[in-house]
Amino acid sequence: MRHLASSLILGVLSFSLPLLAKDITVHGFVTNMKSATSFEIDDYKITRDNTLRIDLDLPKNEKSFASFKPDDIRVGTELEVTGDYDEASGELKAKSIKVFFEDTRVVKRTALLEQIPSLVKSGSGWEGDVRADGEKIHVLPTTSVTLKPDKSEQKKLRHEGEHVEVKNLTSLDEVNLDTFVHYEGTRQADGIIDATKIEFEHGDLDPGEAKLWKHYDPKIKAPNYSSLVPGELTMPSCVYEFCAHYIVPSQEAQNYITQMGQRLIPQHQKDLPSDDPLKIPFQFYLVRDKTFNAVSYPNGLVLVHSGVFEVLQNEAQLAFVLAHEISHAVEKHAWQEYEYHRKELIALRASGAFVPFAGELASNAAASAIKSAYARSLENQADRVALEWMLMAGYDIREAPASWKAVSLKHGEGLVDPIWGSHENRTMRRSYLMAELRNNYSDVDYSKLKDDTQQFHQVAGIVKNLEDKKKTKAK
């Protein structure tokens, strides 16, 4: 799956192949703990000697985890393990272990509220919980809780001659479900984030973001369904995508993808009036492409490649693919990345760097964004939010990591993922989701959730038949 803001490519699982053993490096999240010397990352059974030193990859200016001990490793800890791998047993005997804290222990994120915060006044501050981002965020009396005017509110304040500033939150009436929360904090052993800072900001369609929406409005030529002639979807910009996509000429398949997508859009977003600037005009298309991919755009355009039906095993896995892409639009990931890289350029200029072609530099920054913890944080968020929306729609969330397993079964692990080029290696993505299930969904009653429907397989058959007819016609 890939969202427009960047083309993100990183190989995080590398192999060298001696005759008798494999010396490998696995980068992923702990999915099962037996002891401090025996744990798992997906299918890899990690063992380590008690005397093995553990290296720490600390975030900038973060010294609080310097005392991290091996006993502090738990489900969800991000590790890079290098060692000797026994393929027959799946055991990886560690020779080195590095722990990563960015976005797993030290958290700095922005997310749309899932529900009105459960907060009460505590002296001069607030205390309680905030639900956002698929996370439980604990607000302490010492937590800074503020409200930042959005750009429209700032413009109005300036017009009225008022001073624009971030103010302490005075009432929960100032917060609604169109509010984003910028939060910072530290994850505790129970998985809850103790916040040091909470900053609310009302959702707003920035003029620049509105231009971005319009910039990616596609031109649509509908298929001729009776003659099985594909339609055409043409993008006005082709920075990271092909200019034209061919719409699969099956009304049933198109309706199915649209219905699936609509089912997974969060209810509050669906309930917004059509003239509300925050209403995202979602469109879903199944396009003819044998590669396994899905693409989302900031204006709610979601393209699903027909190749997904050759890989995914059931409807719940397709629900995860769609929910992940929908979340990129709802959480404004493309705009967030644009703003992030714009600030990087401003910082470069401020430091005296000569930046003659800012647009080109921004594109290069976006293209290599997976190297930054920030970009990977957005992918992690899309996964977390997708789990929430799958669950709300009644789908078995265990099929989210299983979807990555299905990709591996079809295409293998590989050094760099050739299918989902914008995502890290499948082992890392799969292990992240498995850790999320263990940490945050242990009380789910899976007997009430569905994983498959006959319609999924019927549409998969339609797609295959159309592809077979295309091949026959080509001969």
Q: Which residues of 11-50 are buried (b: 16+ CB within 10 A; e: fewer)?
A: ebbeeeeeeeeeebbbbbbbbbeeeeeebbbbebbbebee
Helix or strand run (H / E) with residue 410:
helix 399-411
User: Phi-psi region for residue 228, left (φ > 0), alpha (ψ -120 to 50) or beta?
Assistant: left
CB 341, CB 365: distance < 8 Å: yes
The number of C-alpha atoms within 13 Å of 18 and in the hemisphere containing its C-beta is: 10
Q: What is the pLDDT of residue 68?
A: 85
CB 58, CB 64: distance < 8 Å: no
Q: What is the pLDDT of residue 96?
A: 96
Residue 118's SS3 state is strand
Q: What is the pLDDT of residue 475?
A: 61
CB 176, CB 195: distance < 8 Å: no
Q: Quote the longest CA-to-CA distance of the chain.
A: 78
Structural domains for the chain = 8-100 (2.40.50), 106-203 (no CATH), 209-336+346-474 (no CATH)
CB 466, CB 249: distance < 8 Å: yes
Per-residue pLDDT of the chain (475 residues; tens, 9 = 90+): 544 433 322 333 333 334 456 899 999 999 999 999 999 999 999 999 999 999 998 776 666 677 788 888 999 999 999 999 999 999 999 999 999 987 788 899 999 999 999 999 988 899 999 999 989 999 999 999 999 998 888 888 787 787 778 899 999 999 999 999 999 999 988 889 999 999 999 999 988 899 889 888 999 999 999 999 999 999 876 554 457 899 999 999 999 999 999 999 999 999 999 999 999 999 999 999 998 889 999 999 999 999 999 999 999 999 999 999 999 999 999 888 887 766 654 454 444 444 333 333 344 444 444 345 677 788 899 999 999 999 999 999 999 999 998 988 887 654 334 333 333 477 888 999 999 999 999 999 999 999 999 999 999 999 999 988 877 776 6
Distance CA 295, CA 2 (A): 5
Strands 91-100 and 44-47: parallel
